[in-house]
Structure 1
Amino acid sequence: MHINCPFCGESKRRLYLYPDTEQYHCFHCGAHGNAVSLYARRTGLSYANAYHELEADRMLHFPLPNVPKAPEREPASIEKRDAVYRAMLGLLPLSAEHHQNLLHRGLPERKIRGNSYRTLADGKELRDSIAAQLSARFDLNGIPGFYFRDGSWRLCAYSGLLIPVRDTDGRIQGIQIRRDSAERMKYVWLSGAGRPCGTPARSWVHVTGNRAKTTAVITEGPLKGDAASALSGDTLFLCVPGVSAIKYLPETLKNLHLTAVYEAFDMDKLRNPQVVAARKRLRQMIADCGLPCRTLLWNETCNGIDDYLAAQKIC
Structure 2
Amino acid sequence: MKAKPFTITDVGALLGVQRLPGGDENSYNVVCPFCGDERGKCNFIVIKNGELVNVYHCFHCGAGGNMLTLYAELNGLYGANRYQRAYWKIQEELPMGIQEYKIRQKKVMQREKQCKEKLAEPADCENRDAVYREMLKMLKLSFSHKADLRRRGLTETEISRMEQLGYRSICAEDSVSIARRLIRSGCNLKGVPGFFVNRNQDWEIAFYLKNSGYLCPVWSFDGLLTAFQIRLDVSYQKRKYVWLSSAKLDKGCSPGSPVSLSGDPDGQRVFVTEGILKAEITHQRTGETYIGNHGVANHKELRQMPVKNFP
Other-structure match for 1:136: 184
Query: Does 2:296 align with 1:243?
Result: yes
Which whole-Å deviations, capped at 9, do the CAs of 1:65-121 have from their partners, x for residues lacking one?
445442753332222212211222221222222211112223333332222311114
Residue 29 of structure 2 aligns to which amino acid in structure 1? I
Compare CA radii of gyration and give the structure with the larger one: 2
* One-letter amino acid matched to 1:154: E
Contact 2:261–2:289 (CA<8 Å) still a contact in 1? yes
- The answer for unaligned runs of 5 or more in structure 1 is 263-315
Quote how far apart the aligned CAs of 1:57 are: 6.5
Matched, 1:98 2:145: yes
1:132-211 alignment to 2 at 5 Å? 132-137=180-185, 138-149=187-198, 150-157=200-207, 158-184=211-237, 185-211=239-265
Q: Distance in 2 between matches of 1:210 and 1:140?
A: 30
Instruction: Find the aligned partners of 1:80 and 1:177 in 2 and give their Cα distance.
Output: 21
Given the superposition, is the C-alpha separation of residues 249 and 8 from structure 1 closer, same or farther in structure 2, using an over 3 Å criterion? farther
| Conserved 8 A contact 2:122-2:253 | yes
Q: 1:155 to 1:174 in 2, by over 3 A?
A: same
Q: Secondary structure at the match of 2:255?
A: coil
Local SS of the residue matching 1:119: coil
Amino acid at match of 2:188: D
2:120–2:190 contact (8 Å) kept in structure 1:
no
Change (3 A) 1:246 1:98: same
Quote the residue 1:289 is aligned against: none
Q: Is 1:164–1:176's contact at 8 Å kept on the other side of the alignment?
A: yes
Contact 1:190 1:201 (C-alpha < 8 Å) held by counterparts: yes
Structure 1 residues 207 and 238: alpha-carbon distance in aligned structure 2, compared to 1, 3 A threshold: same
1:276 maps to none
Q: Which residue of 1 aligns with 2:29?
A: 3
CA separation of 1:86 and 1:10: change in aligned 2, threshold 3 A = farther
Once residues 216 and 30 of structure 2 are traced to their aligned partners in structure 1, the CA distance between those partners, rounded to angstroms, is 24
Counterpart Cα distance in 2 of 1:217 and 1:44:
43
Contact 1:108 1:230 in 2 (8 A): no
Query: How many residue pairs are counted as aligned between the two chains?
Result: 254
Displacement after TM superposition at 1:126 (Å): 1.6
What is the one-letter code of the residue matched to 2:189?
Answer: L
**d(CA) in 1 for partners of 2:212, 2:192:** 18
Instruction: After TM superposition, give the deviation of residue 22 of structure 1 in Å.
Output: 8.6
> TM-score under structure 2 normalisation?
0.68
Correspondent of 1:127 among 175, 187, 200: 175
Name the structure, 1 or 2, with higher relative contact order (CA <8 Å, separation 6+). Answer: 1
Mapped partners of 1:166, 1:248: distance in 2 = 13
CA RMSD of aligned residues (A): 3.5
SS at match of 2:281: helix
Q: Which runs of 5+ in 2 are unaligned?
A: 1-22
Counterpart contact for 2:58–2:64, Cα < 8 Å: no
Deviation (angstroms), 1:164: 0.5
2:57 maps to a residue whose letter is C
Partners of 1:27 and 1:242 within 8 A in 2? no
Name the stretch that deviates more: 63-72 or 53-62. 53-62
Q: Which moved more, 1:49-58 or 1:29-38?
A: 49-58
